[in-house]
Structure 1
Amino acid sequence: MRTAFVKTLCEVAQQDSRIWLLCGDLGYSVLEDFSTNFPERFVNVGVAEQNMTGLAAGLALSGKVVFIYSIVNFPVMRCFEQIRNDVCYHNLNVNIVTVGGGLTYGSLGYTHHGMEDLAVMRVLPNMTVIAPGDPVEARLATKAMIAHNSPCYLRLGKAGEPIVHEKEPVFQIGKAIELCSGEDLTLISTGGMLQLVMQASEKLSSQGYSVQVLSMPTVTPLDEQAILQAAAKTGKIISVEEHGIGGLGSGVAEVLALKEIPVKFRALRLQREAVKVAGSQTVLRSRLGLSLEGIVEVAISL
């Protein structure tokens, strides 16, 4: 996903001189295309993420479209106050892009696990929160963010994620993307879980179940209409995310509760025990229930 993001950003920056990119002393082997082609619009701020956010706000106040890039927790948790007060309060065109969403950097332990970022960012005023499901969505999201003219948070995996969409979908901030239609159950995915959710859908279909799959790249604002239509159509919803409490599952639950919709709902997400583990992303996902077998088991139980 990060490759799709950088490639798209370079393409747009070629035509739009307002595009700037700031990084916190990382992104080597990733950001070189931008830094080489647009050196006057690229700044390595160093390991100073709070300062980076302030610089981004100043550039945005000067009419620039600014992108901040770092590993998931560093430009979010470390400088939450600057995002809240400098960026969101003034509703500035600053786009916070992070890599390592969920357990991408699983072997590095809790300091590098992205477990709370969606929850933290979705409560901020004026903030749009986007977690694309594959490189296609990442590319389309980058273009949409530039035109959005308001604070955005883009949560990416790392590199090598598979393309899930067979053809380019219509991408609109705040709208879900339907990959499969079904009558028995709805699976709603955000971020890098999309491939796994599609595999679960295929396995369930092979067992005779009719499964709807929705990719929800925009966590805030949520597509409430798509959630309510799914509830009415299938009566059973499972949200799947590589994130803890407060993310997609909490958002879907809020929609269903506030509308008093009678529906069977389960939220598959990282549990608190995830703070104690380290290992590869695949191993940790499986251990914490975010596996093909885990999704299918919960689906059949509904």
Structure 2
Amino acid sequence: MSVVMKDAIKIATRDSYGNVLVELGKESEKLVVLDSDLAAATKTGVFKKVFPDRHIDCGIAECNMMGIAAGLAATGKIPFASTFAMFAAGRAFEQVRNSIGYPHLNVKIGATHAGISVGEDGATHQCNEDIALMRTIPGMVIINPCDDVEAKASVRAAYEYDGPVYLRFGRLPVPVINDATTYEFKIGKGVVLKEGKDVTIVATGLEVSEALAAAEMLAQDKIDAKVINIHTIKPLDEELILFAAKETGKMVTVEEHSIIGGLGSAICDLLSVQEPISVLKIGMEDVFGESGTALQLLKKYGLDAEGIYKKVKAFVTKYNADATGENVVK
């Protein structure tokens, strides 16, 4: 299980990515790492130091990098193509779709610097659309880990999985909420972090720890929130989501991504057909980000614990009022 501690160690999942690649590199010579002149930022530079012959710097040519990764996969290698999410999902979308997705090749895409927590780099580099783009590619697995422990476990799981995987990592150091000695990662299986009966909060990535903190605040207002970590957005843990929907009757999704096409949309696609309930999607609205520190931006766009708390409280309060008829004009 996972716990949230105020003094928890904070580690950026991009660091986790670089470190676990070194571990995997020692275990298998099939692993090859590609980068597009960003090894210091994506943290694949640590792999390059240990395995210089298995690290390929493709230069600022992300589309070519995806093609090279596809070729390596076709020869039996297991390539990890690494760059910023904006370039991996955005600039190289056609190559990912046609050269990796269509032939269903065994390529892993390590997309770092996702979401508005990229901060001062600004709107051009704050990719809030990557999950939506990758969801449209048939057979693409999408993983968005919440902390260091989960990030390392997810990379291992991706390595062992036969097929294309999109791994989403962040620049901002986030609390380590999972216990490395007991944590188990399974592709397509969510994790219940807190039980609750009044509302379900489903979060992904760095928003998981924020959602847990928000749940503690909600408890002070006697709102008992169930919290679920969905690290794998595709394939989605439909069984867990449907069970939670029936259990609490209302759901909130939280993601550092556009509310269009991401986790919230995936869950609404499911619930609208099988278990129609009220859903509140918390994420980036139909806007671009802006320059600022990661913490400033998370606060401004209501993606920190306090922002989540306020939105969930208002949602639950309105839902309960509507259910009892208190909002009916007489």
Q: How does 1:209-248 map to 2 (within 5 A)?
A: 209-244=223-258, 245-248=260-263
Q: Secondary structure at the match of 2:91?
A: coil
Q: Which one of the candidate residues 274, 277, 293 is aligned to 2:288?
A: 274
Q: Which one of the candidate residues 19, 28, 32 is aligned to 1:7?
A: 19
Paired with 2:296 and 2:288, the residues of 1 have a C-alpha distance of 12
Shift of 1:32: 2.9
Aligned partners of 1:145 and 1:152 also within 8 Å? yes
Q: Which residue pairs with 2:171 in the alignment?
A: 158
- Counterpart check, 1:27 vs 2:42: no
Q: Secondary structure at the match of 2:86?
A: coil
Paired with 2:276 and 2:234, the residues of 1 have a C-alpha distance of 23
- Counterpart check, 1:56 vs 2:69: yes
TM-score if structure 2 supplies the norm length?
0.88
Q: Which residue pairs with 1:40 in the alignment?
A: 53
Paired with 2:164 and 2:34, the residues of 1 have a C-alpha distance of 15
CA RMSD between the two structures = 1.3
Paired with 1:212 and 1:152, the residues of 2 have a C-alpha distance of 29
Letter of the 2:25 partner, please give it. Answer: A
Paired with 1:133 and 1:31, the residues of 2 have a C-alpha distance of 19
Shift of 1:2: 1.4
Shift of 1:217: 0.5
Letter of the 1:143 partner, please give it. Answer: R
Q: Percent identity?
A: 35
Aligned partners of 2:117 and 2:172 also within 8 Å? no
Paired with 2:25 and 2:178, the residues of 1 have a C-alpha distance of 25
Cα offsets for 1:128-157 (capped at 9, x unmatched): 001001111101100100111100000000
Cα offsets for 1:19-52 (capped at 9, x unmatched): 0000000122722321122111100010011110
Letter of the 1:155 partner, please give it. Answer: R
Aligned partners of 2:191 and 2:229 also within 8 Å? yes
Letter of the 1:224 partner, please give it. Answer: E
Seen in structure 2, the aligned counterparts of structure 1 residues 104 and 27 have a Cα distance that, compared at 3 Å, is farther
Name the count of aligned residue pairs. 300
Q: Which one of the candidate residues 156, 175, 179 is aligned to 1:143?
A: 156
Aligned partners of 1:171 and 1:177 also within 8 Å? no
Q: How does 1:125-144 map to 2 (within 5 A)?
A: 125-144=138-157
Cα offsets for 1:93-133 (capped at 9, x unmatched): 10111111111222222110111000000110110001001
- Counterpart check, 1:255 vs 2:270: yes
- Counterpart check, 1:196 vs 2:214: no
Aligned partners of 1:21 and 1:68 also within 8 Å? yes
Q: Which residue pairs with 1:296 in the alignment?
A: 309
Q: Secondary structure at the match of 1:225?
A: helix
Aligned partners of 1:4 and 1:135 also within 8 Å? yes
Q: Secondary structure at the match of 1:153?
A: strand
Q: Which residue pairs with 2:321 in the alignment?
A: none
Letter of the 1:252 partner, please give it. Answer: I
Cα offsets for 1:34-73 (capped at 9, x unmatched): 1122111100010011110110000000000000111111
Shift of 1:283: 1.4
TM-score if structure 1 supplies the norm length?
0.96
Q: Which runs of 5+ in 2 are unaligned?
A: 1-12, 317-330
Shift of 1:273: 2.7
Paired with 1:15 and 1:218, the residues of 2 have a C-alpha distance of 25
Q: Which runs of 5+ in 1 are unaligned?
A: none
- Bigger-Rg structure (1/2): 2
